[in-house]
Amino acid sequence: MSLPDTIFCVSLHTFYERKAINTSIKMKVIDLIHDNNSRPFSFEVLPPLKGNGTAQLFNTIDRLKEFAPRYINITTHRSEFVYKDLGGGLMQRQRVRRRPGTIAIAAAIQQRYGIPVVPHIVCSGHTREDLEYMLLDLQFLGISDLLVLRGDKAKEDHMFQPTGDGPAHAIELIEQINKFNSGHFFDGTEIKCPGEHFRYGVACYPEKHEEAANMESDMAVLKRKVELGAEYAVTQLFYDNEKYFAFVERARQEGINIPIIPGIKPLAKLNQLSIVPKIFHCDLPEPLYKEAVKCSTDEEIKQVGIEWAVEQCRELLSKGAPNLHFYTVSAVDSIYEIATRIY
């Protein structure tokens, strides 16, 4: 083969490769979820800590991309206040954002890997103007799939407090996004050149949101999100499949018919036996707990977590779960092993 022929073949291969990537990116998350030809696998990553590079983040994606994820979620983290000792008994209150760059990271992942991205957009720590600028940045970058969340309360607050005029609940943020989609800024000003509409998913809680009075009120909130336009829901992590199945059945009875995607996080460290139930407000089933408390090292509990998650995932898929969404923090190796065994 001559050099021009070689160049032509390489160029043609690159053209078709890029065309396939662009087709995948153009597909909306809801379409990917319904696509039976794609693997029911997605995962969530965190932006790097401030001052750190992207090497560890990209290593995580490099490790898991062989399982052809439908999409990758990127979390958003609010600013927090810390106190700096100035000496002489003086302390200075400073606002710090430890994990900036959600939108930039989302764009970098999409550009580098050609995998659809879903940045989280949250009420927490943001005014309505802040959120509007995020939507504009995302629109400029051609990113139109979102996961809409209220987000966590500030560490110094006993309960969630909106920032300035920012939304106090995910429903209010959805309403702002819908207004943006309709061609209007939050103050009512018309958008002269409206772009592609944002599509979004939301969170749900098989074991009830920690602040919900009861499951009935929590389900009513989810139903309202769906009425406003949520196309799918991703669950808080859980370890008891029966709670997921019961939650889905109840949602269907309430007329909530969007895909409900189970969120999976395998146990990987001994301290998670107490930390996970406390932070994520989920129960550890007795059989899992009995095996976990026998462990004396992180490696031992990591293996227990893998075995439990493999069986959990197999049952979820066999009973019709539309996708499996993995939370990767401290669990990349475990998720790789689980994915190897179930896909």
Tally of structural domains, the chain:
1
CATH number, position 194: 3.20.20.220
R_g (Cα) of the chain, nearest Å: 21
Residue 138 lies in a domain: yes
For residue 10, tell me if it sits in a domain: no
- Tell me if 299 is assigned to some domain: yes
Interatomic CA distance for residues 172 and 167, integer angstroms: 5
Q: Are 47 and 99 in contact (CB under 8 A)?
A: yes
Average pLDDT of the segment spanning 92-114:
82
Is residue 8 one of the residues assigned to a domain?
Answer: no
pLDDT for position 26: 76
Asked if the structure places residue 295 within a domain, the reply is yes
Listed ranges 17-21, 74-78, 84-88, 109-113; the one with the highest mean pLDDT: 109-113
What range does the domain containing 253 cover?
Answer: 29-342
The answer to the question of residue 255 being in a domain is: yes
Q: Residue 313 domain-assigned?
A: yes
Give ∠ CA 224-229-231 in degrees, rounded to 5: 105
Domain assignment present for residue 5? The answer is: no
With b meaning 16 or more CB within 10 Å and e meaning fewer, what string describes 277-307?
eeebebebeeebeebbeebeebeebbbbbbb
pLDDT in tens, 221-264: 999 999 999 999 999 999 999 999 999 999 999 999 999 999 99
Mean per-residue pLDDT of the chain:
90
User: pTM of the prediction?
Assistant: 0.88
DSSP state of 67: G
- Looking at residue 177, the DSSP 8-state letter turns out to be H
